[in-house]
Amino acid sequence: MGVDPLADAGPALLIDAGFQFTEGPQWMPSLGALLFSDIPANRIFQFTPPSILSTFRTPSGNSNGLALAPGGDLIVCQHQGQVMRLRPDGGTTTVAASFDGGTLNSPNDAVVRSDGTIFFTDPTYGGTGTVGFRGVYRVAPNGTTSLVHSTATGQPNGVALSPDESILYVADSQLSEVRRFDVALDGTTSNGARFTLTSAGGPGGAGGDGITVDVNGNLYVTTSVGVKVYRPDAGYLGRITVGQEPSNCAFGDADGRTLYITARTGLFRVRLNVPGPY
């Protein structure tokens, strides 16, 4: 627990550039590759280390966040107003497109618990539905959608689970904060409260977009000044500098110690001392 994940870590290195707006990195162990979205290009790319870039799926429904579900399904947040499940055989089903009679706004990011429970965020960055608020949702394994959190002023964005799946983290880009919720064994949430402001520790840090965790529970938050890293007690560990403003991040590679970072028109990576529980 005392290992500094940033010790000896330099700035993130550029892998490739020339994209329109990258988001949603997700390591796929079955492919030995990273998937990520280019939202305006309506495309999901596949990066296979060390240097092979290819198209994984197009059109993608203007995909944003991607998450891996048990069994290998890919959960895809689509700016077109729904969360989609993409099976390894290429088949698709809709996870969620509405709630309580209203249509979703623009699903942004998702994380999946080991039992198949899906948590996803729904701000208005890609469109506005009729649901009437910006929210965070839970989809139970039986398909039932429940509301975790709603806001009229914030924009829920990145979402992550602690390694033991007992805490749900949600970044709010509009309020420049990360909130945390206790997660019960049945997937229900409670005790929502601020975990940290993204300006806490280090220089600046407005916003708060994509987030992920490592195996020790340290939280990585993409902000306007780079990727800020916080301990589970919200203590500030440091910052990873990136050549462009980052949008999201995820751990990958065979040993789990590479942090992949999507940043506007580029894809970056940095090696760390602590792996992620992808």
Residue showing tokens 């280090």: 202
Query: Cβ of 3: how many Cβ atoms within 10 Å?
Result: 13
Cis ω before 123 (30° cut-off from 0): no
CA neighbours closer than 13 Å in the CB half-sphere of residue 167: 17
Counts for the chain of helices (H) and strands (E), in that order: 0, 26
Token pair recorded at residue 29:
């162990």
pLDDT for 2 equals 77
Length of the chain: 278
Distance CA 21, CA 19 (A): 6
Burial of 168-196, coded b for 16+ CB within 10 Å and e otherwise, reads bbbbbbbbbbbbbbebeeebebeeeeebb
Q: Which residues contact 256 (CB under 8 A, 6 or more apart)?
A: 27, 215, 275, 276, 277, 278
CA angle 167-173-178, nearest 5°? 25
Q: Which residues contact 213 (CB under 8 A, 6 or more apart)?
A: 160, 161, 162, 163, 169, 219, 220, 276, 277
CA dihedral 25, 30, 118, 98 (to 10 degrees): 80
Q: Which CATH class is domain 13-271?
A: mainly beta
Task: Give the residue among 153, 169, 154 at the shortest CA–CA distance from 229.
Answer: 169
Distance CA 245, CA 224 (A): 6
220 and 6 in contact (C-beta within 8 Å)? no
Q: Domain extents for the chain? A: 13-271
- Profile the chain (278 residues) by mean pLDDT over runs of 10 residues: 86 97 97 98 98 97 97 96 96 97 98 98 96 98 97 97 98 97 97 96 91 98 97 96 97 97 98 92
Distance CA 250, CA 25 (A): 6
